[in-house]
Structure 1
């Protein structure tokens, strides 16, 4: 574990650097199912975004949006002395990965169900699901230690985000829940996603991979078709049987995407 450039991170392995970026309300630990194998071939940095998990929020007066979070990650990359690392992100982290690619700040970018390829009604739906899940999570929090060890309860709480909740580790699920409920940047970041839409894919000059779970119930799979239109030169992959956060649903498919990228 470490901290530099005001971001908390986990570092493991050796080889070409690979930065992993989580989604909204999440934390670096969501990459746990794939980090060990990635670290056999890459020097892996799994970070906590500003205002989430163990990273402090952005400076007072700085809005928390896709672009300002991208600024923070880009500054962290410079502070760490990383020379155009590879980057991979999920959801909000996927949008940040693509924005870093737009800035030519990274060598390549892989985005798993990235935000920004929605239409307005899908954007509204995703924000509603996240707000509802957070409200339910807060009500259930006193029972969280018990619920985390119940496959049924994990399915109810995590169903919108993963296709196979029973595969979640109960202890990790508790840490994920704490990050989801406690992140001070959650509300503002979620609100500001209303105005974020990915555009101008021609500006991305580095290799890009877009991967989408076929059972993504948060950012629906039809958004993958828009990604194909907006990024026709990217590699596009369907993650069969995976949900919005595919790392735990099928680590092998995610590893194949990230290591063949």
Structure 2
């Protein structure tokens, strides 16, 4: 397999969709960018079995690479997408990886893992408000900021339409319960099969940098580790420009 020098694939987090990257993609116009929606998520292919696993989701992402003719593109992922990118690299399918606050760095039964999934489950529950009520409430920047406070610091920077689309993504994710309940995790990876950057959000409430970031550094000791200032778990919401610059530096430098 050969590296696809200007091909970048963006992988989103659990319960989200390719729309998670809509404010970042225009800032990466020098690359050929692909942003698939994960299996079992709104707008993506159906899950092939239930309960779905992270491994199943990674298998589906690899099928996307095959179908799109991408051997070893540069992979960028946030949360679950970062986990997927690392595992695809383990399979030899990445020229480089930039994992933004990746999921999967926990130990079985770890209290922080349960707390993290509880935050995401709370977002899922809040998304079940009647749509007219959600639509009206999300016109307020303050409400948007509060509604997404577990995953972002400045969700008021989303438009009301973008915030509502995020809620639709949560409601349309058929495999949320399956994936949030997974016992899977990322195993140690050393040496690395390609350059890997772990770009952790400084203000991540879901996977705190001093807990999950520390585990990530132990399991991928040769990865580059950087902290993204002033952003929450989904940095594409808080600072798309910072995310694009982080991606660009890693792709060009790999």
1:101-112 correspondence to structure 2 within 5 Å:
101-112=89-100
Counterpart contact for 1:23–1:93, Cα < 8 Å: yes
Q: Structure 2 vs 1, CA of residues 70 and 17 (structure 1 numbering), >3 Å: closer, same or farther?
A: same
The answer to whether the 8 A contact 1:102-1:203 is kept is no
Matches of 2:234 and 2:74, distance apart in 1: 20
Q: Structure 2 length normalisation: TM-score?
A: 0.91
| Residue matched to 1:242 | 231
Q: CA RMSD in A?
A: 1.6
Q: Deviations over 1:35-59 (max 9, x none)?
A: 0111x22100011101112013222
Structure 2: distance between partners of 1:133 and 1:28: 18
Secondary structure class of the residue paired with 2:23: helix
Runs of 4+ in 1 over 4 A off after TM superposition: none
Contact 2:51 2:175 in 1 (8 A): no
**Residues in 2 aligned to 1:184 and 1:62: alpha-carbon distance in whole angstroms:** 10
Q: Secondary structure at the match of 1:219?
A: coil
| Residue equivalent to 2:10 | 20
Runs of 5+ unmatched residues, structure 1:
1-13
With over 3 angstroms needed to count, the CA separation of the structure-2 counterparts of 1:118 and 1:140, relative to structure 1, is farther
Q: Note if 1:178 corresponds to 2:168.
A: yes
The 1-side partners of 2:102 and 2:200 are apart by: 8
TM-superposed CA distance for 1:63, in Å, is 4.0
Shift, 1:131, TM fit: 1.4
**2:48 is equivalent to residue 42 of structure 1:** no
- Residue aligned with 2:194, SS: coil
For 2:225 and 2:218, how far apart are their aligned partners in 1?
11
Distance 1:205 1:153 in 2: 43
Superposed displacement of residue 113, structure 1: 0.5
Correspondence for 2:81: 93
- Segments of 5+ residues of structure 2 without an aligned counterpart are none
Deviation at 1:240, TM superposition (A): 0.3
**CA–CA distance in 1 between the matches of 2:130 and 2:116?**
21
SS at match of 1:54: coil
State the TM-score, normalizing by the size of structure 1. 0.89
Q: 1:170 to 1:15 in 2, by over 3 A?
A: farther
What aligned pairs does 1:85-234 form with structure 2 within 5 A after superposition? 85-119=73-107, 120-139=110-129, 141-192=131-182, 195-202=183-190, 204-222=192-210, 223-234=212-223
The answer to whether the Cα contact below 8 Å between 1:57 and 1:185 also exists between their aligned partners in 2 is no
Tell me if 1:83 matches 2:71. yes
